[in-house]
Amino acid sequence: MNRLQLVCLVVFASPLFAQKAQKASTPPPTKPPLVSVDITKLPEGATHLDLWLLCGQSNMKGRGVMPEEPKNDPRIVMMHKMDDQWYLARHPLHLTGDAKTFQGHDNAGVGPGLAFAEVLAAQDKTAAIGLVPCAVGGSSIKLWQKGAKLYEDALRRSKLALQTTAPVKARLRGILWLQGEANANAEELPLHAKRLRAMIEAFRADLAQPDLPFIACTVGEMRDEPQLANLKAMNEIQLALPKSVPHTACVDARDLKTHIGDSVHFDTAAQNEIGRRFAAKIIEMTGR
């Protein structure tokens, strides 16, 4: 074996290369480009626009394989993560690439947000749904505390969404939260409930909505021990949230076991089911 062959063997066998190969398993979005919308006007048939904040880490961002053809429902729109402009919503909602060329796209795929919006749009034919994607893969809840980077960016995007939709008097209806894997360890689990509550209270105060609905979702229980025990402990914290914080709920997704091959990220079918469960939970909470 010559030196070049040896170097190639080491690189391709390394954990870093394996991680990059796994990330590449989510195919990039395909043309046509995103379709821009005039957010100052409601689509035909809609009488109001409801905004929803999507926060958390990679399972909220989504890694599921995307459909062949993008969905472009005129009543469901999204604020692009890169340019803060509004477009017809399609996968991946957490697109980091250019809206026309998709250059700069990372491994974002199907998450729960679009299925969530589709249920709400079907349930209320007069509603337009505006999604504000803010999730970042691998992010700790420490980055979602007031003053930290991801919290402040989500707050900025929330306020910008409300500002740009002011002509149609849009309202922020709630926050969807899917996070926890990054903090499912012995050191941080004892602090998680306190941090989660602090984040919710900060969002409500900074957005001047003390009763703003907040819906969490359990993380996947697809790992082997000892990781599984920590994931189960994290889920107990999330499921207990409604008992201690008013106007909150938790979607139970512990029964969903299908993933993209890494025992961490839900596949497309599971993500769509989580989205539907988010919608059912908010309908249950609000009676709408």
Q: In angstroms, rounded to a whole number, what is the distance separating the alpha carbons of residues 150 and 153?
A: 5
Q: Where are the beta strands (DSSP E) in 14-170?
A: 48-56, 76-79, 86-88, 127-133
What's residue 288's pLDDT?
A: 66
pLDDT on residue 29: 80
How far apart, in whole angstroms, are the C-alpha atoms of residue 140 and residue 81?
Answer: 19
- Local confidence band at 7 (pLDDT 50, 70, 90 cut-offs): very low
| Alpha-carbon radius of gyration of the chain | 19
Strand pairing class (76-79; 86-88): antiparallel
What integer pLDDT is reported at residue 26 of this predicted model? 67
The 10 Å Cβ neighbour count of residue 210 is 10
pLDDT at 271 over 60: yes
Say if residue 39's pLDDT is above 60.
yes
What pTM was estimated for this model as a whole? 0.90
Q: Which fold has domain 29-286?
A: Rossmann fold (3.40.50)
The average pLDDT across 33-54 equals 97
Other Cβ atoms less than 10 A from the Cβ of 106: the count is: 15
| DSSP per-residue string spanning 118-143 | HHHHHH-TTEEEEEEE---TT--GGG
Average pLDDT over residues 52-61: 98
Quick: pLDDT tens for 86-110.
Answer: 999 999 999 999 999 999 999 999 9
Q: How many residues does the chain have?
A: 288
